[in-house]
Amino acid sequence: MKTLGIETSCDETSVAVLDDDRIVASEVFSQDIHARFGGVVPELASRAHIAKIDVLAAAVFDAIKLPLSDIDLVAVTDSPGLAGALLVGISFALGIHTQAGIPVTGINHLEGHLYSLFCGTRRDIPYPFLGMLVSGGHTAIYLVHDFGRYDCLGQTVDDAAGEAFDKIGKLLGFAYPAGRAIEGEAAKATHDADIRFPVARMPDSSLDFSFSGLKTAVKYFCAEKGTDWVRENRPLVCRAFQKSVIDSLVRNLVAASTMTGIRTVGVAGGVACNTALRNAITDRFGERAFFPGPALCTDNAAMIARAGYERMKRNSLRFPRMSPSAGL
Ligand code: KG4
Ligand code: ZN
């Protein structure tokens, strides 16, 4: 079965085709226009999606060498995301649906991230598992009973983990998005230098996260040390900040595992690209820790197509309905 995936929820325009769970073509365009503003500008994102979506679709069809009529399903992100950006993808998908009579389904972007774990992986992830989503917009742990059956066990009460990377990156002089650059800078540090940033503790047995206190702590630390010291010691600051985020993520994932008795974990979303995070989670969960390939961690249409394939198999297609703030 061939699924055409379309993703335009934020600042990546992406089109992909899957044959069952195997990616046969994938195009991702990351909009670098936002870098100079230090964050995503919604109206610019919508316009950039409009400029690129048909170019990427044409490239995908060139690569697969099949006509549109060979596509069995169009899967498009319809929630959550930037309203104008979502509308571009949904309109494009509905255009294909209307013109070519191909079935269409809306996909929740967060569900797409979880199903990036199932894109052409060599090993099947056994249900139930703990799915941790760590991206620029979301940070949460889900108990995944099965496709479509999720319990949210904990989520951020303020910033997402990726957002914390991006904000600290801005403070330290890196362009948006800064996660990868901070990881690279942290890797240059050879020791911890006794810098300890706080890991937020939530009340009782809560599995929620909070990163705003960490952000403030780094800000005051840098102000106190002064520009010259920070410039010379940037790798140490990045290393300490990154360690604090990772400690918080790993601590809650381990607590979720203890609480539920589930030892299989899947980690997805842009921050799951981070090698130090992957290593810390693999240290705790060994072979039962699953990650998508790095290209599938950040936003992409292959994961949306993968979730669409799952909906088709289960006879649970749903017409796209734009919902900018819908959770999973
Ligand atoms: O999943 P994604 O593409 O977009 C959202 O759905 O939000 O994630 C983007 C986020 C950005 O905040 C970016 O800084 C972060 O993922 N990111 C990383 C790394 N690569 C991307 N954070 C930490 N380490 C990385 N290597
Ligand atoms: Zn995302």
Q: What's the confidence (pLDDT) of residue 205? A: 86
* CB atoms closer than 10 angstroms to residue 14: 29
Alpha-helical (H) ranges within 140-270 are 161-171, 179-187, 212-225, 227-232, 234-260
Distance 180 CA to ligand 1 centre (A): 8
Distance 236 CA to ligand 1 centre (A): 21
The per-residue pLDDT for range 53-82, each reduced to its tens digit, is 999 999 999 999 999 999 999 999 999 999
Residue 138 reports pLDDT greater than 90: yes
Q: Indicate which residue's Cα is closest to atom 8 of ligand 1.
A: 270
**In this prediction, what percent of the chain has a pLDDT beyond 70?**
99
What does the alpha-carbon distance between residue 43 and residue 47 come to, in Å, rounded to a whole number? 6
Closest Cα partner for 104 from 328, 321, 326, 323?
321
The tokens of 33 are what?
């226009």
Q: What angle do CA 271, 273, 274 make, to 5 degrees?
A: 75
Q: What's the confidence (pLDDT) of residue 192? A: 75
* CB atoms closer than 10 angstroms to residue 18: 27
The per-residue pLDDT for range 217-250, each reduced to its tens digit, is 999 999 999 999 999 999 999 999 999 999 999 9
Counting Cβ atoms within 10 Å, is residue 73 exposed (0-12), middle (13-18) or buried (19+)?
buried
Q: What ligand is nearest to the CA atom of residue 291?
A: 1
Q: What's the confidence (pLDDT) of residue 231? A: 95
Side-chain half-sphere exposure of 153, counting CA atoms within 13 A: 23
When pLDDT is cut at 50, 70 and 90, the band that residue 123 belongs to is low
The per-residue pLDDT for range 272-301, each reduced to its tens digit, is 999 999 999 999 999 999 999 999 999 999
Q: Which domains does the chain have, with CATH numbers?
A: 2-116+296-313 (3.30.420.40), 129-292 (3.30.420.40)
Q: What's the confidence (pLDDT) of residue 122? A: 63
In this structure, which long-range contacts are made by residues 26-31, counting pairs with CB atoms below 8 Å and at least 24 apart in sequence? 26/60, 26/295, 26/300, 26/301, 26/302, 27/56, 27/59, 27/60, 27/301, 28/295, 28/298, 28/299, 28/300, 28/301, 29/56, 30/298
Residue 200 reports pLDDT greater than 90: no
Residue 142 reports pLDDT greater than 70: yes
When pLDDT is cut at 50, 70 and 90, the band that residue 191 belongs to is confident
Helices 212-225 & 234-260, crossing angle to 10 degrees? 160
Q: What's the confidence (pLDDT) of residue 252? A: 97
Average pLDDT score, the chain: 95
What does the alpha-carbon distance between residue 153 and residue 168 come to, in Å, rounded to a whole number? 27
Residue 150 reports pLDDT greater than 70: yes
Distance 40 CA to ligand 2 centre (A): 13
Q: What angle do CA 213, 214, 218 make, to 5 degrees?
A: 120
Q: What's the confidence (pLDDT) of residue 148? A: 95
The tokens of 157 are what?
């009460």
The answer to whether residues 224 and 175 touch, using CB atoms and an 8 Å cutoff, is no
Closest Cα partner for 39 from 163, 156, 140, 158?
163
Residue 35 reports pLDDT greater than 90: no
When pLDDT is cut at 50, 70 and 90, the band that residue 135 belongs to is very high
Question: For a substitution probing ligand 1, which of 110, 180, 243, 277 has the most ligand atoms within 8 Å of its CB?
Answer: 180
When pLDDT is cut at 50, 70 and 90, the band that residue 325 belongs to is confident
Q: Which residues pair with 13 in a beta bridge?
A: 29
Residue 189 reports pLDDT greater than 90: yes
Question: For a substitution probing ligand 1, which of 115, 168, 271 has the most ligand atoms within 8 Å of its CB?
Answer: 271
Averaged over 253-282, what is the pLDDT? 98
| Rama region for 71: left / alpha / beta (φ>0; ψ in -120 to 50; rest) | beta
Q: What ligand is nearest to the CA atom of residue 39?
A: 1
Q: What's the confidence (pLDDT) of residue 220? A: 97
